[in-house]
Amino acid sequence: MTMTEILLKNEVLWAIKLLISFITVLGAYKCFGKVGLFVWIPISMFIANVEVMILVKLFGLHASLGNIPYASAFLVTDILSEKYGEEDAKKAIWIGFFTNIVVALMINFALMFTPEVDGVETFGNLKSIFGLFPRFMIVGLISYAISQNIDIYLYKKLKDKFPNHLWIRNNGSTMVSQLIDNILFTTFAFIGVFPVSVMFEIFLSTYILKWIVAALDTPFLYLATKMDSKKSLC
């Protein structure tokens, strides 16, 4: 397989993964209503904190796979802000915050055990995967809490200013808050892990991809506003 074919494969898979994430968000909302959106936040954060360690080439730049599940959380808080208000959106943030702290503590506590001889290889694999997990988790949680609260604040302000333009408040709030999140996370999560040149590529590619994600999630936000969550499928 040539490098061009590999890059094309990555970009196609990225697009499919993005579509699956957005469809899953709508599916969770349709099945479980507001609760489904609350549940998606910690799911997306956990996946993002694992996948952030996976670097791939997308559109010719180094990129982290964690940007898709992480960006989907902003779609969720925008749906909550639009349909239920600021308080419910903030509640979802703190549910995600609490859940991921518990996950980080429990996983790292489990890695303190001494495994059986037959399980040493599996244990070592888990340790290599989750060795940097606490660092990514802590930085991710801090940048997540700051950027999500900014996103909710901006969404409300833009909704007051542009009540008939859903796409403006969706894209405007997400793009500004994601920039702040990107600066915080890239700086503190990857310093000392990757060279500065790679860090800059990760920052640039991640923000470009988040712009694309923010634009592409707009139709899904429109669909969510048309859904009647009281008539759930589950």
Report domain extents, the chain: 3-226
pLDDT > 90? residue 137: no
CA distance linking residue 72 with residue 172, whole number of Å: 16
Distance CA 8, CA 12 (A): 6
pLDDT exceeds cutoff 80 at 120: no
Per-residue model confidence (pLDDT) at position 222: 92
User: So what's the pLDDT on residue 37?
Assistant: 94
pLDDT higher than threshold 60 for residue 196: yes
The pair phi, psi for residue 191, each rounded to 5°, is: -65, 125
Tell me what pLDDT residue 130 has.
66
- pLDDT of residue 7 exceeding 60, the answer is no
pLDDT value for 144: 80
Q: Can you give the pLDDT at residue 154?
A: 92
| β-pair partners for 194 | 191
Identify the pLDDT of residue 170.
87
- Three-state SS for 154? helix
Confidence of residue 234 (pLDDT cuts 50, 70, 90): low
Using the structure block, give the residue that is written with the tokens 């499928």. 233
**Residue with more model confidence, 160 or 103:** 160
> 147 or 104: which carries more pLDDT confidence?
147
Q: Is the model more confident about 20 or about 200? A: 20
pLDDT in tens, 8-51: 688 888 888 889 999 999 999 999 999 999 999 989 888 887 78
Question: Residue 62 pLDDT > 80, yes or no?
Answer: no
Amino acid identity for residue 170 in this structure? N
**pLDDT score recorded for residue 229:** 63
Mean pLDDT (the chain) is 82
Q: Is 233 exposed, middle or buried (0-12, 13-18, 19+ CB in 10 A)?
A: exposed
Question: Where residue 119 falls among pLDDT bands split at 50, 70, 90?
Answer: low
Question: Which residues are 63's β-sheet partners?
Answer: 56
Which secondary structure element, helix H or strand E, spans residue 24, and what is its range? helix 3-32
Asked if 26 and 220 count as a contact pair (C-beta separation under 8 A), the reply is yes
pLDDT top residue among 213 and 28:
28
| pLDDT (0 to 100) of residue 174 | 84
CATH class of 3-226: mainly alpha
The pLDDT of residue 5: 55
Q: Please check whether residue 79 is in contact with residue 41, taking contact to mean a CB–CB distance below 8 angstroms.
A: no
d(C-alpha 166, C-alpha 214), whole Å: 13
